[in-house]
Amino acid sequence: MVKFIVKLLLLLLLLSIVVLGAVLLVRDDPGLVMLRYRDYTVETTLAFALVALIVLVIAFYYCVRFMRGLWRLPRSMRRQSKNRRFNKARRQLNQGLIDLAEGRFEQAENHLVRLVDFSDSPLVHYLAAARAAQLQGKHDARDAYLKAAHEARPDAELAIGVTQAELQLAHQQTEQALATLMHLHGIAPRHNYVTGLLARAYHELKDWKALVEVLPEVRRKKLIKEAKLVEMEVAGYCGILELSTSSQSSFESAWRGIPKALQVDARMIHLYLDLMAEQGWHNDQAEQMLLKSLGKQWSDDLIEVYGRFQAADANAQLARAEKWLDDYAHNENLLLALGRIAMRARLWGKAQGYLEASIGARATPAACLALAELFEQQLQQPAKAAEYYQQGLKLSLAVSD
């Protein structure tokens, strides 16, 4: 309205200037203008003719504009109606996003899809509605919204796929999420967020080989926080070790493939030595690693593993372990380990003494079982064996409760 008034004032000013100029021009000689058509004759001064001509031109101009406005009126009304719907759809989108952020998921879904057909950004509507549906447990509706998003914006396949993978992972649909992420990785192999989600999917599916293949890129690009990344690396390489116990050579090869920084991790060392003990394999380097780790920091878990670790010379192993008695003479785990090593050295009396001392320090199912086997298999005392079997069983049941 203000612009119209300004234009009108400028037009009147211009017209006044033109009239004033015309008057000044013909002040000394007003001149004569005569128009004749058949029997009709019109005579007037030049100044009046000029003013009349200007008024006619202006009138004609606005008449043409008025007619053009009438011609365009239907289209203009349609455009205004469309703009109103766009504005209303934008308000619905804003309200839906606010509801989603504030936890009103049902209201958010309703606002987001109400006028989506009139929005200039339907992709945002559908993706947000998919999240709202997911948070209500409406997974069929979620998939329908994602499909509608793809139909609305086929060129936004990556954005839609990432959202779909995130929602599938959140719903524990890990295999479906992996399929989605593999497709996205084929489209955009260098997409950082897709790579991070792919590592997460491998970790949840316990696909250790695939996980350790992608983790170097994750670390190089710093896609996951360090603490979580280390946890995933340890889990991945521990899984690789557990899968490679078919032979000692493949097991040792798997260990050498673990990054040096992880080989000193206590969890990795424990699993490495534990698996070697379970398989009955011997490795001087592994034993030295265990002794070095125990020399730096005492660990009940590692000393328990050392008790099951089959060194080449059981007597020498027993002598090495007995040196710790000066500091840990009443440690039940050390006494159990000494008892097991003494059994491998065929020192039955010493084995019995260490195992009874371990039970005396703190009775455990493992110590009771080891002592029962010693009485049954080597000392030929079935009654004593039955007594410790029963005690170990009671302890096991108490622990499980």
In a domain, 153, yes or no: no
100-112: buried (b, 16+ CB within 10 Å) or exposed (e) per residue? Answer: beeebbebbbbbb
> What is the H or E stretch that residue 160 is in?
helix 157-170
Q: What are residue 35's DSSP bridge partners?
A: 42
CA 112 to chain centre: 24
pLDDT above 70 as % of the chain: 89
In a domain, 258, yes or no: no
In a domain, 325, yes or no: yes
Confidence band (pLDDT; 50, 70, 90) for 59? confident
pLDDT (tens digit, 9 = 90+) per residue, 253-273?
998 888 888 887 878 888 888
Confidence band (pLDDT; 50, 70, 90) for 217? very high
In a domain, 207, yes or no: no
What CATH number does the domain containing 317 carry?
1.25.40.10
In a domain, 146, yes or no: no
Confidence band (pLDDT; 50, 70, 90) for 73? low
How many other CB atoms sit within 10 Å of the CB of residue 149?
26
Q: DSSP of 359-375, one letter per residue?
A: HHH---HHHHHHHHHII
Based on the structure, what is the number of domains in the chain? 1
In a domain, 284, yes or no: no
Cα within 13 Å of Cα(327), Cβ side = 8
What are the structure tokens assigned to 177, written together? 């999420």
In a domain, 138, yes or no: no
- Domain carrying residue 347: 313-401
In a domain, 392, yes or no: yes
Confidence band (pLDDT; 50, 70, 90) for 13? confident
82 pLDDT more than 60: no
pLDDT (tens digit, 9 = 90+) per residue, 360-384?
999 899 999 998 999 888 888 999 8
Q: DSSP of 295-351, one letter per residue?
A: HHS--HHHHHHHHH---S-HHHHHHHHHTTHHHHTT-HHHHHHHHHHHHHTT-HHHH
